[in-house]
Amino acid sequence: MWVAPGRVNIIGEHTDYNDGFVLPIALPLVMECRAGVRADTKVRVVSAQRPDEPVLVEVADLVAQRDRVPGWSRYPLGVVAEFVRRGHAVGGVELELDGAVPIGAGLSSSAALSCAVAIALRDLFAPTVTDRELIEFARAAENDYVGAPTGLLDQSASILCTAGHALFLDVRRFVEDGVDADVNTGAHEQIPFDLARFGLELLVIDTGQPHEHVDGGYAERRAQCEAAAAELGVAALRDVDSVAALDRIADEVLRRRARHVVTENARVLTVAQRLRDGADPRAVGPILTAGHASLRDDFEVSTPALDAAVDAAIAAGAHGARMVGGGFGGSVIALIDRAQTDAVVAAVRNRFADAGFAEPRTFVVGPAAGAHRAD
């Protein structure tokens, strides 16, 4: 069995596909892949969540059959197809999937699933594949086989994160420099993130409103960012070093989209430096809240339920709170004193009840290990 974790970003949403900076942690919640070699040349996939929908496809027919297999199965099958496309001799394989990462909660369940399958296939068929290549395989599977226009963040977090640390990732350098993902470089760095030492916890609030990357909203934001960069004459919004430079963008919507990315990159760099310096994490709380305001107002990917969770957590004493993931639903994180956990949870639930929202799911998380073989 191989496992890969979901993730939450401490800070850094919608910056990865703009060649920017991100700061995720891996969750203690994982997707599981039990895998074994078959005697034939078929891939069989079965999910504990869909026990009545096993899928059986010839390895050689994976591309031709893409539109005929159920949508959920395209994530694992896409990873197999990507190994084959890149010249690895993958034979018949049995894939049994299960996991605890909530689906549609903005916690990267799909990337965790893809990465669990990828690491299993590497161990079974292609042991020389590097971690960096695994990240590319998993992302390409989601982009090309599933049709989800994700960036590099989710897969990098699932593969590279380590227990007790946040992962600082400079996406452009990581991609362009071809750095080795198995060692720390300027492109990626493990930064200690010990909340317990300061009496803190990170609370995840799952609103129960699922989001999907395979929809118009996420792709539209990517296109708007690309249009803003083109208008400014830069390769990506990562190259814009001040908000004042955005005045050259004529369209007000594109200007706001770009403003989120520019200010969010700055927030990532500030939070990463404060954590490197060993500062009390309470100091980054207001930066998290500012990130939510930017996602809500400039990037317009929040929802009334996400806003209610943030507002209720802050009112109940959280040091900072913000939505996580691509938006349009999903989850919120709140940085809280351990002694205030029950009070914050109660406040959020009361706010949801008053607003007529379904009761949210809440759980405390800490930085966990990345993908690995579990038995």
Catalytic residues: 154
Q: How far, CA to CA in Å, does 289 sit from each of 10, 13, 51, 55, 318? A: 11, 13, 41, 43, 10
Whole-number Å distance between alpha carbons of 10 and 22: 8
| Residues 27, 16: Cα–Cα separation, whole Å | 19
Distances, alpha carbon 362 to alpha carbons 64, 203, 258, 344, in Å: 41, 7, 32, 10
Find where tokens 């010839």 sit. Answer: 58
**What single-letter amino acid sits at 128?**
T
Give the separation between CA 116 and CA 356, rounded to whole angstroms: 37
DSSP string computed for 96-147: EEEE-SPTTSSS-HHHHHHHHHHHHHHHHH-TT--HHHHHHHHHHIIIIII-
The helix/strand/coil state of 347 is helix
Checking DSSP bridges between strand 372-373 and strand 50-58, what pairing results, if any? unpaired
Whether the Cβ atoms of residue 178 and residue 316 lie closer than 8 Å to each other: no
